[in-house]
Chains A and B, each alone.
Chain A
Amino acid sequence: MTKNQTQFVYVSYIRTTPDKLWAALTQPEFTRQYWFGVSMKSDWKAGSSWEMMYDDGRVMDAGEIVEADPPRRMVIKWRNEWKPEFKAEGYSRCTMELEQVDGAVKLSLTHVMDVADSKFITEGVSNGWPKILSNLKSFLETGAIATANKS
């Protein structure tokens, strides 16, 4: 990371398979359950558009798929659409890597913005991902999420 970047990194080990984790990260019937009702719209091919929507249909984030290599690696060009100060920072990049290790899948998520002290990364993304990824892990391992409290 350079001084002109802000980065959030999170690693989680989940007792599942890469195929199930890929499906949980991309298919609305799964994301709605652990991501506070959110669904994503994309055909998940490099160059395709990508949108994330609240359960009421409003667009929260939008961008495009930079790389998609199921079930191993995905890179999304990602801009927040609902908070003007986040949107003004422009596009971030979210990279998700899935590796089978030690009987589990290691999910490494890196969300980077080419802006120093990015509010989107330090206030938005850094608060959001740990709760979402905690719920995702619980959902895949137990069938239930850890917390329904979004705030």
Chain B
Amino acid sequence: MSDAQSRFAYVTYIRTTPEKLWAALTQGAFTKQYWFGAEPISTWESGADWRLQLQDGRIADTGSIIEADPPRRLVIKWLCHMRADFTAEGYSRCAMELEPDGEVVKLTITHEIDRPDSPFIHEGIANGWPKILSNLKSLLETGAIAAA
């Protein structure tokens, strides 16, 4: 990471398969359960549009798919619309990598923006991902989320 970037990184090990985890990250039927009702909408092909729609229909984030290699790697160009100061920061990049290791999948999320001291990364993203990913792990391992 250069001084001109802000980055959030998170690694979690989930007892599941890469295929199940990929489905859980991309299909609304799963995301609605662990992502507080949110649903990502995309064809999940490189260059395709992407948006994250909240339960009440508002669009939280928009962007496009930079890379999609199911069930291994997904990179999303990501602009937040929930706070004017976050939107003003411009596009961030979120990379998700899925690596199988025996009965577990290592999921690495790296969310970065080309700005120093980004409030979007440090206040928005850094608070959001740990709860979402904790719920995702619980849902896949136990069938229920951890924190409502």
Query: Interface of A with B (CB < 8 Å)?
Result: 9-15, 101-104, 106, 130-131, 134-135, 137-138, 141-142, 144, 146-149
Contact = CB atoms under 8 A, between A and B. Distances in A.
Contacts of A106: 147
Contacts of B11: 130-131
Contact of A104 (B12, B13, B15, B146): B146
A125 to B, nearest CB: 12
Given A130-B13, A134-B13, A137-B137, A13 B130 contact: yes
B13 A14 contact: no
Q: Is the interface of B mostly helix, strand, loop or mixed?
A: mixed
A147 B13 contact: yes
Interface stretch (B43-51, B63-71, B97-105): B97-105
Interface of B: 10-15, 101-104, 126, 130-131, 134-135, 137-138, 141-142, 144, 146-148
B72 to A, nearest CB: 18
Contacts of A11: 130-131, 134
